[in-house]
Amino acid sequence: MTTVDDAADTGPALRRFMRRWPGGVAVVTSAAGTEPVGCTVSAFLSVSLRPPLVLVSLAEGSRTLAAVERQGRFGVNVLAAAQSDLATRFAAPTCDRFSDVPYHWEHGVPVLEDTVAGAVCLVDRIVAAADHALVLGAVHHCRQDDTTRPVVFFAGSYYGLSP
Ligand SMILES: Cc1cc2nc3c(=O)[nH]c(=O)nc-3n(C[C@H](O)[C@H](O)[C@H](O)COP(=O)(O)O)c2cc1C
């Protein structure tokens, strides 16, 4: 086990620490005019059930964040184990992310097909935090497929979830 007590080293150490934290992967979607936009996120969590609030953390400068701020709504698409290619694609800097990706529109938000779960949210508030924006969303509606397993991101790689 590596320990770090020098504040100057904390950034890289925190990065290494977080690599040990396994988590699901989602694509946050929104729209810029009539164009679908979206990016891969792992910083997603449920905040409260009453009211139903979730949170995504998006980097300042994210095009998805700009669209979410403008449109006031966003989708959360929880990727299936078979969709790890979408996690890579929606994080890539330059490509037509939605090309050949099946999706449909719900309440002005692109919703990806064949995911484990999906939600459409209305922006409740956005809280600045260092170089990220914490976007709280009121869940307008959500659905899940109980038969599909998610992809898990751990130590920089994607895994299926085995029982
Ligand atoms: C597994 C994984 C998880 C990621 N999680 C986040 C995240 O939680 N928040 C974030 O802002 N970027 C995250 N990213 C990086 C964005 O997907 C990436 O910077 C993307 O190009 C941003 O696109 P945009 O500028 O079109 O919004 C993640 C990337 C990967 C591969």
Does residue 47 form part of some domain?
Answer: yes
Angle, CA of 108, 142 and 47, to the nearest 5°:
105
**Distance in Å, CA 147 to ligand 1 centroid:** 27
pLDDT in tens, 130-147: 999 999 999 999 999 999
To test ligand 1's pocket by mutation, which of 29, 42, 153, 157 has the most ligand atoms within 8 angstroms of CB?
42
In a domain, 113, yes or no: yes
Centre of ligand 1 from the C-alpha of residue 163, in Å: 28
- Helix and strand numbers (H, E) in the chain are 3, 12
CATH code, 85: 2.30.110.10
- Three-class SS state of 162: coil
pLDDT by residue (tens digit) across 35-93? 999 999 999 999 999 999 999 999 999 999 999 999 999 999 999 999 999 999 999 99
Calculate mean pLDDT across residues 15-28: 97
In a domain, 157, yes or no: no
Query: For residue 69, is it within any domain?
Result: yes
Q: Are 92 and 86 in contact (CB under 8 A)?
A: no
**Structural domain of residue 106, as residue ranges?**
24-150
User: In the chain, how many domains are there?
Assistant: 1
Q: What is the mean pLDDT of the chain?
A: 95
Atom of ligand 1 nearest to the CA of 58: 11
